[in-house]
Amino acid sequence: MSRMPRRIGTARFGGLRTAAGRLRHGWRPVLEATGAATAAWLLATRLLGHPQPFFAPAAALIVLGQARGQRVHRAVEVILGVAAGVLVADLVVQALGPGSTWTVGTVILLTVLLAVAFGATGVTLVQAAVSALYLVVVAPPDGSLVPFRFVDALVGGAVALAVSLLVDARHPLAPLVAEVRRTFDELAGLLGSIAAALDQGDEAAALAALRQARGMDARVDGLRDGVLAAGEALRLHVRRRRHIGRLRSVDESIRQIDYAVRNVRVLARAGVTLSRLHTSTPPELGVALRCLAEAVRQAGAALAADLDGHDETADEHARRADESALAAVHTAGQLFGATQALPLAMIIGQVRATAIDLLRGVNPEDDVAVLARVDDALGLPPL
């Protein structure tokens, strides 16, 4: 019984620590949304003199709630959605009167039909319906011909875009660089965890590594979103558009990194199987996996340096990634014939595949040469 309060206290402390970690990494979007919504409200009330500019902060929050890289498109959708909802609500309320069940149903039906007919996405469709419903139930039109609510939505969308622009003004590529570093560091750490689990024959640790590997797809998606966001930020900065070419090279690399993540997931699955055999694992396997982890770190550093415009540094990291990846393949290749265990053979194959995709990601134009160097390191005859 005495252990129960201790466990509860530990769980609460763990929950607080998790919440603190989330706030530490997510404070910027919180301040960004708060500042944009407040600024939109002030502009609509103080500058334009609108009495109840609900849609100004609402539109700002909706636009900022979208993923970076889609905000210009979403801002246009939100404004059009509000306009459609306001138009339908005005017409229906004048015809049927405010507040009745028939009015509510008719407004929602016509608004959704209109949005679908114009090919609206889910965000625009919902925003149009909510705008119309708000006008019918909460604030019925007063017969004024001035489109206050449409203007409020325009103000909110414009403020949201301006805040996004200011946040990324000095370093538009910084969020993408940070995402690159986090993704490659996590993938390298995962390979280190697999190596440690196999060294110790620890099935529980191997299973934990496999669960982590299954979550790496979210990191790759984060990289893709980061490229979209950086592209939007650069397009909004006329003087920085010359950097868009760097994004194209990173975009090509992400495809290969996606393949590498899948290979590591297969490798982790084979590691679980191997750990269940309860046989000694050759120490060279752990060495190979740690070399591969170092190659991942160097590849991430190369991409980050390339995005920062440090070409010489990027080339040096790419060279180190090449050396570490080939060393991993060479070390793993020495294990062929030492055992007939199928999981071990699968891991060796995935080391080779991961090295190929990793080096192709760092050097997209060196496709054939990468394959030749990796197979040479493995001891295979040239094609």
**What is the chain's pLDDT, residue by residue, as a tens digit (383 residues)?**
455 455 455 545 556 766 666 666 667 778 888 888 899 999 989 888 887 787 788 888 877 776 565 666 666 776 677 767 777 777 787 777 776 788 888 888 888 887 777 766 666 677 777 777 777 777 665 555 456 777 887 888 888 877 876 766 566 777 788 888 999 999 999 999 999 999 998 999 999 999 999 989 888 888 887 777 777 667 666 555 556 666 676 777 788 888 889 999 999 998 998 888 877 788 899 999 999 999 999 999 998 888 877 888 988 999 999 999 999 999 988 887 655 566 788 888 888 888 888 888 877 666 678 888 888 887 766 65
Could you give the domains of the chain? 30-167 (no CATH), 174-378 (1.20.58)
d(CA 302, CA 308): 10
Q: At what angle do helices 216-236 and 203-214 cross, to 10 degrees?
A: 30
Q: Is the Cβ–Cβ distance between 379 and 333 less than 8 Å? A: yes
Q: In DSSP terms, which residues pair with 339 in a beta bridge?
A: 336
Question: What integer pLDDT is reported at residue 74 of this predicted model?
Answer: 65
All residues at 6 or more sequence positions from 60 whose CB lies less than 8 Å from its CB, including other chains: 33, 36, 37, 39, 40, 156, 157, 159, 160, 163
Output the pLDDT for position 286. Answer: 92
pLDDT, position 1? 47
Residue type, 230: A
DSSP 172: T
Output the six-digit token pair for 201.
């024959």
Query: H-type helices in the chain, by residue range?
Result: 3-42, 55-64, 71-96, 101-117, 122-137, 148-167, 174-200, 203-214, 216-236, 244-276, 283-307, 311-333, 342-362, 367-378
pLDDT at 67: 57
Residues 6+ apart with CB under 8 A from 81: 115, 120, 123, 124, 125, 126, 127, 128, 131
CA distance 60 to 107: 24
* pTM for the whole structure: 0.66
Cross-strand bridge partners of residue 336: 339
Question: Hey, how many other C-beta atoms are within 10 angstroms of the C-beta on 14?
Answer: 10
The confidence score (pLDDT) of residue 307 equals 81
Are the CB atoms for 156 and 55 separated by under 8 Å?
yes
- Which value, to the nearest 10 degrees, does the dihedral of the CA atoms of residues 260, 320, 230, 259 take? -10
Other C-beta atoms closer than 10 Å to the C-beta of 342 total: 12
287 Cβ contact partners less than 8 Å away, ≥ 6 residues apart? 331
